[in-house]
Amino acid sequence: MMITAGVDIGSTASKSVILGGDKILAQVIGSSSTNPAKTAQEIYQQALKQAGINEKDVAFVVGTGYGRAQVPFANANISELSCHGRGAHYFLNSSRTVLDIGGQDTKVISIDPNGNLLDFAMNDKCAAGTGRFLEMMARVLELGLTQLGEMHFQEGEPCVIGNMCSVFAESEVINLVNEGVPLPRIVKGLHHSLAGRVASMVKRVGMEPELVITGGVAKNRGVIDAIESKLKAKTTGFPQGADPQIVGALGAALIAKDQAQAK
């Protein structure tokens, strides 16, 4: 059995997946730090321990994500665009459009029936439409990220958050709080603001069924609901037990398997 690994160093979270053949042997998610190389080593060692194997047992390692060039033990580093496509295809082989909402950027990826990249659009110039946007607003509202998702489904119409810039949106949210606007309405407005930014990117690339959402923000059901509302389309969830946050690392491990076999 060939063993390969993927290490995804994101701006806020880092992930590692180890594959034995096509089976996931280990998956680990941890916080990123100001030292990507150290984070990569720590997250990889945790995955090896979980899998019950040593480094010498791994045939090939691929690094991906924001800090992919800082994975010192990787045999190759690959764009997260390709990795998210492959990882999404592994969990749901009918997926054709992948929406990855990360901490620092958002990507819309079009893939072929084998999970290979066809086209993409990326927002990496502004925090609006990213996980960072939600983290900033959660701090302003003194709420946890899990609470945002839960509060979305409480009563009340969403506020209109007019500013797409995160800094100005923050001021707008503070004003709404000071005016006594109920928090569920503000939270819904934030989710719809993010969803509007994301939906315009999806429309630029073109949406082919099935549409799947990856990244940590995919765990926020309120965001999913808002995106579906903006796109007037349903997203497809991954199978039970599949974590959308490990998709990039999983895709990296799958590509590592291809490259090892090619050698």
What is the reported pLDDT for 50? Answer: 98
96-237 shares the fold of 1-92+239-263: yes
- Peptide bond preceding 135 in cis form (omega within 30 of 0): no
pLDDT in tens, 75-110: 999 999 999 999 999 999 999 999 999 888 899 999
Given a cut of 50, the residues of the chain with pLDDT beneath it are none
Q: Which two tokens stand for residue 10?
A: 């994101």
Alpha carbon distance 186, 182 (integer Å) = 7
CATH of 1-92+239-263, one of 3.90.1150.10, 3.30.420.40, 3.30.479.30, 3.40.50.720: 3.30.420.40
Residue 127 contacts by C-beta under 8 Å, 6 or more apart in sequence?
104, 133, 136, 166
Where exactly are the structural domains of the chain?
Answer: 1-92+239-263, 96-237
Q: Does domain 96-237 have CATH number 3.30.420.40?
A: yes
Q: Which two tokens stand for residue 206?
A: 């073109």
